[in-house]
Amino acid sequence: MSVDPPSVAPAGIRRGSTYFPELESLRGLAILLVFVFHADGVLLAPFRSHVGAQSPLPLVFVWAGHSGVTLFFVLSAFLLSLPFLDEANGAPPVSRRHFYERRALRILPLYVAVVVVGTILTSRSLADLRRGLPYLAFLQSKPNLPIPMPPFSDVWWSLATEVQFYAVLPLLALAFGRSRRVTVALLAIYAMAYAAVALFLPVPPFEPWLRAQSIIGRGPLFLFGILGAWLYRRHGEAIRTSLAANRWLASGGADLVLVIVFLALALLLRWSNLRGFFVLEPTRWYVWHVPEGALWTAVLLTVLLAPLRAKGLLSNAALARLGVLSYSIYMLHLPVLSSSIAVARRLFPSLTGWSAAGAAWFVVATVLCVGLASVTYRYIERPFLVRKARLDGTGRAAQARAA
């Protein structure tokens, strides 16, 4: 059985657009990091935590698996910015209306379903049902407005940040389509805004929100994805040819480079875990996300362009399948983990950490989550993804391309 990622694009990829099977696998890696990170936390809570511990490098991507969300943001920016970069380079204009229709078809059906179900299951009265309204309007980033509905709402913040990115992304063609001076000026304006938020802004309660959940605070992650897309579009083929012609890189040197990038990322994540992720977020040390985003972008470009001999470890059918299911897994995994650990602890009261029973729970919870995600993907996501594929980026109808 081949481990290569599928060459046929999954549902939702429109005709004429570029499909990157490697990036589908990286999306699978991102959701794997997030899932294992939360599973580890659920299994240990409330008995102990890894925060402040010196994490062994082999385990750092488990203990600091929240970094998978950063990878999601980088991948999103890379993929979604490509048509706008093409437009800036003289391609037909991207239909803004169809862009937003495609984004709505991609995220709203499952999101609305999960918000409605989560609101109902966490409500104790009819008045409690109103708690879901701010989330349906993606207002969960507004300080002190939404009432948390754990465990359902614990991951919804990233959807609001993503929607903010959608709002500003169409300006990209305008920025890159003007002179270099205009582009540099716009980047300088953003850099000043980021510096003000990340380093100098002393006004609570907006400070933590602006840093952790806004397009300003998370902006560098999206910017790195956009810059990676620009480099790929402008120089990708030349870089790929040049790297493949280098004997040292083609003989395993590229794999060594990728290992070094992952090692640098592991050291950075170990540093953040030692100090405490949620301790760093409201402080000036929040800027650690800048090198984090740069390193994940380096991973992305290396996988796409370098002559890796062990590429199958990061680009294969198993990770690609997780990538296809990643949105459903992301939206469902915390409720599945939380409810399953409650049942497991009723059966095994001594279940307080990793053991044979803990490993068995993890396997069962993983199977349940992937199985449920497969169902929601098939019956909620995929029908709308097929409709999404019929919308051509330039506003013309396109034939759907189904997996």
User: In the prediction, which pLDDT does 286 show?
Assistant: 82
For residue 284, the model assigns a pLDDT of 75
Query: What is the average pLDDT value for the chain, to the nearest integer?
Result: 88
Instruction: For residue range 109-156, list pLDDT tens digits in order.
Output: 999 999 999 999 999 999 999 999 999 999 887 767 789 999 999 999
Does 4 score more than 60 pLDDT?
no
| Residue 63 pLDDT greater than 90, yes or no | yes
Locate 316 and state its tokens.
């294969």
- What integer is the mean pLDDT of 54-79? 93
Does residue 2 surpass a pLDDT of 70?
no
Closest CA to 330 of 134, 131, 147, 106: 106
> Once rounded to an integer, what is the mean pLDDT over residues 335-360?
94
Residue type, 103: R
The answer to whether the beta carbons of residues 283 and 74 sit under 8 Å apart is no
Question: Which residues fall within 8 angstroms of residue 117, CB to CB, at 6 or more apart?
Answer: 152
Does residue 397 sit in helix, strand or coil? strand
Residue holding tokens 């511990």?
53
Peptide bond into 205 cis (omega under 30): yes
Model pLDDT, residue 12: 67
Q: How far is CA 277 from CA 64, 289, 335, 344, in A?
A: 8, 11, 22, 28
Residue 137's pLDDT is 93
> Hey, is 189 helix, strand or coil?
helix
Alpha carbons 146 and 153: distance in angstroms, whole number:
10
Asked if residue 219 has pLDDT above 60, the reply is yes
Which DSSP state fits 149? -
DSSP-derived letter for residue 377 is I
| Over residues 12-20, mean pLDDT | 76
Whole-number pLDDT of residue 202: 57
Mean pLDDT, residues 61-75 taken together = 96
Which residues are CB-neighbours of 191 under 8 A, at least 6 positions away? none
Cα–Cα distance for residue pair 373/379, rounded to 1 Å: 10
Q: Which residue has the higher pLDDT, 254 or 16?
A: 254
Q: What percent of the chain has pLDDT over 90?
A: 68
Provide the pLDDT confidence category of residue 366 given band limits of 50, 70 and 90.
Answer: very high
Statement: residue 396 has pLDDT above 60:
no
Q: What is the mean pLDDT of residues 319-333?
A: 97
List, for residues 163-212, the tens digit of each pLDDT value: 999 999 988 877 777 677 777 888 888 888 888 777 766 555 555 666 67
For residue 46, say if its preceding peptide bond is cis, omega within 30 degrees of 0.
yes
- The pLDDT assigned to 289 comes to 92
- The pLDDT, as a whole number, for residue 185 is 82
- Which pLDDT score, from 0 to 100, does residue 283 have? 74
What was the pLDDT predicted at 395? 47
Asked if residue 393 has pLDDT above 60, the reply is no
| Highest mean pLDDT out of 3-7, 242-246, 285-289 | 242-246
Least confident range from 23-32, 95-104, 120-129, 133-142: namely 133-142
Indicate whether 313 pLDDT > 60: yes
Rg (CA), the chain: 21
Cα–Cα distance measured from residue 373 to residue 381, given in angstroms and rounded to the nearest whole number: 10
Q: What is the pLDDT of residue 58?
A: 82
Q: Indicate the pTM of the whole model.
A: 0.92
pLDDT at 6 exceeding the cut of 70 = no
Q: What's CA 39's distance to the chain center, in Å?
A: 18
CA distance 86 to 394: 12
Q: Residue 398: is its pLDDT beyond 50?
A: no
213: nearest Cα among 64, 329, 69: 69
Per-residue model confidence (pLDDT) at position 78: 97
Let me know: does 222 contact 165? Beta carbons within 8 Å: yes
